[in-house]
Amino acid sequence: MRRLAAIFTLLALLVAAPVAAAQTQDPSQGGGGPFSPLPQPAPEETPTPTRTPSVEEQSNTDRTLLFAIGGGLLVLFLVIGYVITRDAREHLPEAERRAAGQLRDQGPHRHARQTKAKARAKTKAQRAARRHNR
């Protein structure tokens, strides 16, 4: 058993030796060791500057964009309102459709004309009394 362990240890050392030797190459031969200085980076190309738009150009673009967005929203709201009212008219029951054309006096909340006239006269008298007591 000890013999087998010694053989495996020797094989592991023999396999690891070339890897360790490759890591510690001589820097003069073109390789860099783990403790050698880093190579200098290649110079990067500087980007060409682009012309920035002036403040007036930006404000005109922004104003135009805002007007376009506002117009789009206005059209959107008009279309939504049209669709909602059309749908409401289509789903209105026939009885309510007929009742919509009637006057209020003809509806379920009608009062006799004399009762309304009496209430108006009473209100007029109260107003006159308030004026007289000032």
- pLDDT digits 0-9 by tens, 82-119: 999 988 888 888 777 777 666 655 555 556 777 888 88
Q: Is residue 24 part of a domain?
A: no
Q: How many structural domains are present in the chain? A: 1
Q: Is residue 70 part of a domain?
A: yes
Q: Is residue 7 part of a domain?
A: no
Contact at 8 Å (CB) between 31 and 25? Answer: yes
Domain that holds residue 83: 64-100
Identity of the residue numbered 34:
P
Q: Write out the two tokens for 77.
A: 């709201």
End-to-end CA, the chain: 127
Q: Is residue 132 part of a domain?
A: no
Q: Is residue 37 part of a domain?
A: no
Task: Kindly report, residue by residue over 35-78, the tens digit of the pLDDT.
Answer: 677 777 788 888 888 888 777 777 767 788 889 999 999 999 99
Q: Is the pLDDT of residue 5 over 90?
A: no
Cα–Cα dist 132/52, whole Å:
78
Q: Is residue 83 part of a domain?
A: yes
Say what the pTM is.
Answer: 0.34
Q: Is residue 74 part of a domain?
A: yes
Contact at 8 Å (CB) between 33 and 27? Answer: yes
